[in-house]
Amino acid sequence: MRVFCVLRLKCILDLPATSAAPGLLTVFGLAIMNNVAERPLNGDVEDDDEDDGGGLEAWERTYAEDRSWEALQEDESGLLRPIDTTAIYHAQYRRRLRTLAATAATARIQKGLIRYLYIVVDLSKASSERDFRPSRMAVMGKQVEAFIREFFDQNPLSHVGLVTIKDGIAHCITELGGSPESHIKALMGKLECSGDASLQNALELVLGYLNQIPSYGHREVLILYSALSTCDPGDLMETIQKCKKSKIRCSVIGLAAEMFVCKHLCQETGGTYSVALDESHFKELILEHAPPPPAIAEYATANLIKMGFPQRSAEGSVAICTCHEEAKTGGGYTCPRCKVRVCELPTECRVCGLTLISSPHLARSYHHLFPIVMFDEVTPSSQNDSNRSFPNTCFGCQQSLLSQGNKPGLSVICPKCKQQFCLDCDIYVHESLHNCPGCESSRHSKSVTASQ
């Protein structure tokens, strides 16, 4: 553009000095100046595009995407302080608890307490996308670790195995087992993305392992899928029908857009399909699979299961561990049938095949069959009623229930024992303790009174 203007101007300057030439030169000179002012050079345009970014520098855009200032609010004195999200989190928790209670009230639901779950993690090149910070692969690894710990906490009699998909091949990282640390360690050492995903290969691999599970075990597959396609060697629909015939419940959590084949898989096998919107939503979706799901009517058959309760070995004894096939000193447990050593519980004896558990494992699985009732909310307005008296401290943690200015805060009350709890104790009682302290204390006091 600059060269063209110079040549054009030179041609005009070479014109004869007539009366029309100065006017033409003046008009053309103004046009050149206006054009140059309105249209900058290509290099300048690219620089402006790089520096623009919505009017923000590169380091500013990093903080703008996090939007950390939204977590602040101004208090009465004009100072900034973090927003208290306890009430928001508790409201979401109460809504989820209310939904579960409504579902349980409609019918008597049978749940599978002995679960055999394979977690299929998609490590194809689609998992390297950065729409989840820092990447889909990192978010999946972090949330799978949290899920495994929560799964064994709520399902102490169950087993988990890990399978990854990369380069169109399904790899079994860990077989079905009850050790969360071994699963987490094996997964963290395999977090590498490459190639395409193959849903059929993953299902065929898991199908071969789960077909060996006894009939009393509930067979499940949880697939964390990042890709928008699947590269399969055969007919995927036939594999889905095999899973349905083998009574395998398949669930999928997608990190991209919804796929018909994933939805069809979940519908055929009785699983659930959902797509994560962000990391917090993905965490919520994956933790929903930690509690035992309702058992499918035609699959739920009553069976008597033979189990063993091993004793802990003496600290100074030396024996060969069947788990690691090496001699170990002290610790471990002795199988009551064949007297071999195992390292941890629950597990299955590799010599005689007896299921080995401890009594606390059965007690921790019991609460799924008889969950604790949902507590009633006590609003601050109802606490101002002069006809009723409410305590000022939580029955569980003995902390004050009064907010700033000695005003009544949000709390809940047990409908059976009428004891009042704070929001944190409400969540702890329903998610971890699974027993109401007020009801247990009243039951204990009654037993003591009767004995006297």
**Are residues 178 and 119 part of one domain?**
yes
Locus of tokens 């977590």: 71
Q: Is 54 left (phi over 0), alpha (psi -120 to 50) or beta?
A: left
Residue range 270-289: average pLDDT?
A: 92
Residues 6+ apart with CB under 8 A from 379: 410
The pLDDT of residue 366 is above 90: no
Query: Is residue 210 domain-shared with residue 131, that is, in the same domain?
Result: yes
In a domain, 7, yes or no: no
Read off the tokens for 35.
């054009």
Provide the pLDDT for residue 83: 61
Question: 334 — phi, psi (to 5°)?
Answer: -110, 125
Cβ pair 316, 309 in contact under 8 A: no
Count CB-CB contacts under 10 A for residue 223: 26
For the beta carbon of residue 67, count every other beta carbon within 10 angstroms: 8
28-42, 60-74, 113-127, 336-350 — which is least confidently predicted? 28-42
- Residue 78 belongs to a domain: no
Rounded to the nearest 10°, the torsion over CA 25, 27, 32, 34 is 160
* Bridge partner list, 251: 222
> Token digits for 143?
């949330």
- At residue 147, the pLDDT reads 96
Task: Lowest mean pLDDT of 38-42, 236-240, 380-384, 402-406, name the range.
Answer: 38-42
Per-residue pLDDT band at 328 (split at 50, 70, 90): confident
CATH number of the domain encompassing residue 408? 3.30.40.10
If asked whether residues 262 and 116 sit together in one domain, one would say yes
* Domain identity same for 247 and 385: no
Question: Domain check: are 324 and 356 in the same one?
Answer: yes
Residue 379, pLDDT above cutoff 60: yes
Taking the C-alpha atoms of residue 285 and residue 349, their distance in angstroms, rounded to an integer, is: 34
pLDDT digits (tens, 9 = 90+) for 59-94: 665 555 555 666 666 766 777 766 655 656 666 666
**Beta carbons of 223 and 250 less than 8 angstroms apart:** yes
What is the Rg, in whole angstroms, of the alpha carbon atoms belonging to the chain?
33
Q: Give the pLDDT score at 4.
A: 42
Cβ(336)–Cβ(348) below 8 Å: no
Domain containing 205 — which CATH number?
3.40.50.410
Phi, psi (degrees; rounded to nearest 5) at 144 = -65, -40
125 shares its domain with 207: yes
How many domains is the chain partitioned into structurally? 3
Confidence of residue 23 (pLDDT cuts 50, 70, 90): very low
Q: What is the pLDDT of residue 40?
A: 45
Least confident of 51-55, 113-117, 277-281, 371-375: 51-55
Whether the per-residue pLDDT at 224 is higher than 80: the answer is yes
Q: Say how far apart CA 412 and CA 93 lie, in whole Å.
A: 13
Range of the domain at 323: 311-369
97 within a domain of the structure (yes/no): no
Domain identity same for 243 and 226: yes
pLDDT given at position 215: 81
Q: Which of 319, 344, 369 is the last residue of a domain?
A: 369
Most confident residue range from 1-15, 98-112, 193-207, 280-294 = 193-207
Q: Is residue 122, in this structure, part of any structural domain at all? A: yes
274 compared with 349, residue with greater pLDDT: 274
Last residue of a domain, one of 353, 369, 385: 369
Residues 331 and 382 in one domain: no
Indicate whether 144 and 272 sit together in one domain.
yes
User: Is a pLDDT exceeding 60 seen at residue 44?
Assistant: no
User: 245 and 237 in contact (C-beta within 8 Å)?
Assistant: no
The pLDDT tens digits for 230-243 are: 999 999 999 999 99
The span from the CA of 156 to the CA of 357, in Å, is: 9
The reply to whether 34 falls in a domain is no
Give the β-pairing of 318-321 and 326-329: antiparallel
Going by C-alpha positions, the residue among 126, 121, 125, 212 that lies closest to residue 170 is 121
374 pLDDT above the threshold of 90: no
User: Would 300 be classed as within a structural domain?
Assistant: no
- Say yes or no: 283 and 260 in one domain: yes
pLDDT of residue 355: 86
Same domain? 332 vs 432: no
* End-of-domain residue from the set 319, 339, 369: 369
Tens digit of each residue's pLDDT (9 = 90 or more) over 293-310: 877 655 556 677 888 999
Lowest mean pLDDT among 261-265, 297-301, 324-328, 381-385: 297-301
Q: For residue 51, tell me if it sits in a domain.
A: no
pLDDT in tens, 101-140: 555 544 456 667 789 999 999 999 999 999 998 899 999 9
Residue 94 lies in a domain: no
Considering the domain architecture, whether residues 186 and 325 belong to the same structural domain is answered as no
In tens, the pLDDT along 397-445 reads 998 888 766 777 778 899 899 899 988 898 888 877 888 999 988 887 7
Q: Rounded CA gap, 79 and 93, in Å?
A: 30
Quick count: other Cβ atoms within 10 Å of Cβ 265? 25
Angle CA(300)–CA(304)–CA(306) in degrees, nearest 5? 130
* pLDDT recorded at residue 30: 37
Instruction: Report which of residues 274 and 424 the model is more confident about.
Output: 274
Secondary structure letter of residue 17 according to DSSP = -
Comparing CA positions, the residue from 296, 294, 138, 122 lying closest to residue 222 is 122
**Burial class (CB within 10 angstroms; exposed 0-12, middle 13-18, buried 19+) of 219:** buried
